[in-house]
Amino acid sequence: MASHESNEPAGIPSASLNPHHDRRWLILAVLGLAQLMVVLDATIVNIALPTAQHALRFSDADRQWIVTGYALAFGSLLLLGGRLSDMIGRKRALMIGLSGFAVASALGGFSTSFAMLLAARVLQGSFGALLAPAALAMLTTTFTDPSERGRAFGIYGAIAGGGGAIGLLLGGFLTSYVSWRWTLFVNLAIGAVAIAGAAVLLSNSRTTARPRLDLPGVFTATAGLFALVYGFSHAETTSWGDAYTVISLAVAVVLLVVFVAIERRVSQPLLPLRIVVDRNRGGAFIAMFAAGAAMSGTFLFLTYYMQGTLQYSPIVTGFAYLPLIVGLIGSAQVATNVLLPRFGPKFMVAIGMLVASLAMVLLTRTGLHSSYVTVLLPALVILGVGFGLIMAPSMSVATLGAARDAGVASAMVNTTQQVGGSIGTSLLNTLGASAAAAFVLGNHATVTSSTLLQAEATVHGYHSVFSYSAVFLAVGAVVAGLLLRRGAMAALAKEAGGGEGSDEAENVLVVV
């Protein structure tokens, strides 16, 4: 264990203590691939679902479980995965997660029944819950120089934000021209490259003070998050008044309250509350939650609009999202390299959420025969810019100065985004369906064609979804703006590190 002085902010190891410093950009490529696997899978399989359903002959009721099974496993196990990566070492956790995710993807690609495909998706979510926080934690401890950290998080945040749109594009291509099974097999190629890179480039770092696993915290957090995600997913397919929905959400609230009480009392908590109560991290978590909720509305319902109303093919729908990806990548780089170091997160994240909110308002201009160039293109570009200003800075701020608990801090980033997505999807689906039904009731006497009435009602429902997404983002901008502190990132890094103890850098043992 090294012991020497450093001019770096407390809690952030200097380059001389960082075994990854000399190969940090190659490591970023590996971690980017790991993150791409996780976010890609959230959308790439969705495009292939109708084809997979026809091939394996399962029902519409069963179909939603292919999506929900992944979300349940991923969302409920993230905190456990983050803590395990702190305990066993981030390289080890990353490689286990990558290997398991790849094997689960192969199992899904070879599926001969609904049960086999569902099992594969649950396994993917489980290993993804170990993989995602380990990758972000490794990024946090690898890039310690403030200027380079901004560039790295800009790239990583662009992958996290744009990966869903890339999944739509790649899923459409593979489903149309190869086979739906390749939407799962593609993870074998990505995983093989990432595993090889991790094995060669990474050292296994963990804290010297090996914590015990907080089993009561693990149980209450995992069960509570499972019940929360399940409750909102069930509401999406049934109703908010359904008995299972109500019971599940009530159980979730009770378990999560008990979880907080446990974490306040135990000496080695699963989620140290200092991670959550810090104002900057709290603001970043709120931003990721709101962005996750709004993103779910964008990718899901805008895809429905393009394919169902405008009759775009899956591959054309994927290409239609390219301007969003370009806008997101560009703005993420500018945000983290130019604006965030100078102005700090308070300005950047709030502005990004307001920009994304404006894009959602622009999407309410869509109609039955809208032009892509004049209606969708401007909104998608602005939306990409807004999400780029939100995602990368929020990830950077949420993990700043958390070297000791980098795994669990990273898990919280993913958890808030995942729970936000689950809540957003179910809420927006209900609100959109209610708006469409109300439109039919209010216009059935004036619209003579039932087909036209239904089409107009559907578009009206989408307008409602985009309007509520705009509200989510606007409210999130206010809350995050109030929580996030003023100040440049260098000053915030010193403050965050100082709050965790000046001996942070010496609490890391590197096992090669």
For 278, 472, 477, 507, the CA distances from 480, given in Å and listed in that order, are: 12, 12, 5, 31
Q: What is the pLDDT of residue 5?
A: 37
Residue among 419, 362, 414, 413 at smallest CA distance from 386: 362
Average confidence (pLDDT) over 459-479: 94
Q: What is the pLDDT of residue 149?
A: 82
User: pLDDT category, 375, cuts 50, 70, 90?
Assistant: very high
For the chain, the straight-line distance linking the first and the last C-alpha, in angstroms and rounded, comes to 13
Q: What is the pLDDT of residue 487?
A: 62
Instruction: Tell me the sheet residues that pair with 365.
Output: none
Q: How far apart, in whole angstroms, are the C-alpha atoms of residue 87 and residue 162? A: 30
Cβ atoms of 305 and 363 within 8 Å: the answer is no
Q: How far apart, in whole angstroms, are the C-alpha atoms of residue 281 and residue 289? A: 12
* 499: three-class secondary structure by DSSP: coil
Q: What is the pLDDT of residue 188?
A: 95
**Alpha carbon 82 to chain centroid distance?**
14
Q: What is the pLDDT of residue 22?
A: 77
Rounded to a whole number of angstroms, the CA Rg of the chain reads 22
User: pLDDT category, 351, cuts 50, 70, 90?
Assistant: very high
Q: What is the pLDDT of residue 8?
A: 40
How many other CB atoms sit within 10 Å of the CB of residue 343?
17
Q: How far apart, in whole angstroms, are the C-alpha atoms of residue 448 and residue 137? A: 58
Q: How far apart, in whole angstroms, are the C-alpha atoms of residue 490 and residue 496? A: 10
* Encoded amino acid at 431, one letter: L
Mean pLDDT lowest for which of 108-112, 210-214, 352-356?
210-214
Q: What is the pLDDT of residue 205?
A: 63
Q: Whole-prediction pTM value?
A: 0.84
Cβ atoms of 398 and 284 within 8 Å: the answer is yes
Name the helix (H) or strand (E) containing 80: helix 60-88
Cβ atoms of 388 and 329 within 8 Å: the answer is yes
Residue among 271, 483, 469 at smallest CA distance from 394: 483
Residue burial 436-451, b: 16+ Cβ < 10 Å; e: rest: beebbeeeeeebeeee
Q: How far apart, in whole angstroms, are the C-alpha atoms of residue 182 and residue 110? A: 10
* Encoded amino acid at 205, one letter: S
Residue burial 486-500, b: 16+ Cβ < 10 Å; e: rest: ebebeebbbbbbeeb
Within 8 A by CB and 6+ apart from 33, the residues are 190, 193, 194, 197
Q: How far apart, in whole angstroms, are the C-alpha atoms of residue 459 and residue 476? A: 26
Q: Is the pLDDT of residue 263 over 90?
A: yes
Q: How far apart, in whole angstroms, are the C-alpha atoms of residue 40 and residue 32? A: 12
Residue for token digits 């170091």? Answer: 341
* 364 DSSP assignment: T
User: pLDDT category, 240, cuts 50, 70, 90?
Assistant: confident
Q: What is the pLDDT of residue 459?
A: 94
Length of the chain in terms of residues written:
512
Is the dihedral angle over the CA atoms 248, 249, 255, 256 positive or is it negative?
Answer: positive
Q: Is the pLDDT of residue 9 over 60?
A: no
Name the helix (H) or strand (E) containing 510: strand 508-511
Per cent of the chain over pLDDT 90 is 44
Q: Is the pLDDT of residue 113 over 90?
A: yes
Alpha helices in 205-321, H assignment, sequence order: 215-237, 243-265, 273-277, 279-304, 314-320
Quick: pLDDT tens for 188-239.
999 999 999 999 998 876 555 666 789 999 999 999 999 998 998 888 778 8
Q: Which of 104-113, 271-280, 445-454 has the highest mean pLDDT?
A: 104-113
The overall average pLDDT reported for the chain is 85
Quick: pLDDT tens for 119-150.
999 999 999 999 999 999 899 888 877 778 88
Q: Is the pLDDT of residue 506 over 80?
A: no
Quick: pLDDT tens for 494-505.
565 544 433 333
Token pair for 38: 């996780």
Half-sphere exposure (Cβ direction) of 56: Cα atoms closer than 13 Å: 25
Q: How far apart, in whole angstroms, are the C-alpha atoms of residue 254 and residue 243? A: 17
146-177 and 322-334 helices, crossing angle to 10°: 170
User: pLDDT category, 489, cuts 50, 70, 90?
Assistant: low
Quick: pLDDT tens for 424-445.
888 888 888 889 989 988 876 6
Cβ atoms of 414 and 431 within 8 Å: the answer is no
Token pair for 504: 């942070």
Instruction: Tell me the sheet residues that pair with 510.
Output: 205
Q: How far apart, in whole angstroms, are the C-alpha atoms of residue 106 and residue 85? A: 24
Q: Is the pLDDT of residue 165 over 50?
A: yes
DSSP 392-442: HHHHHHHTTT-STTHHHHHHHHHHHHHHHHHHHHHHHHHHHHHHHHHHHHH
User: pLDDT category, 511, cuts 50, 70, 90?
Assistant: very low
Residue among 464, 470, 435 at smallest CA distance from 360: 470
Per cent of the chain over pLDDT 70 is 88
Q: What is the pLDDT of residue 40?
A: 87
Is pLDDT larger for residue 380 or for residue 167? 380
Quick: pLDDT tens for 286-304.
999 999 888 877 788 898 8
Is the dihedral angle over the CA atoms 416, 419, 421, 427 positive or is it negative?
Answer: negative
Instruction: Tell me the sheet residues that pair with 206.
Output: 509
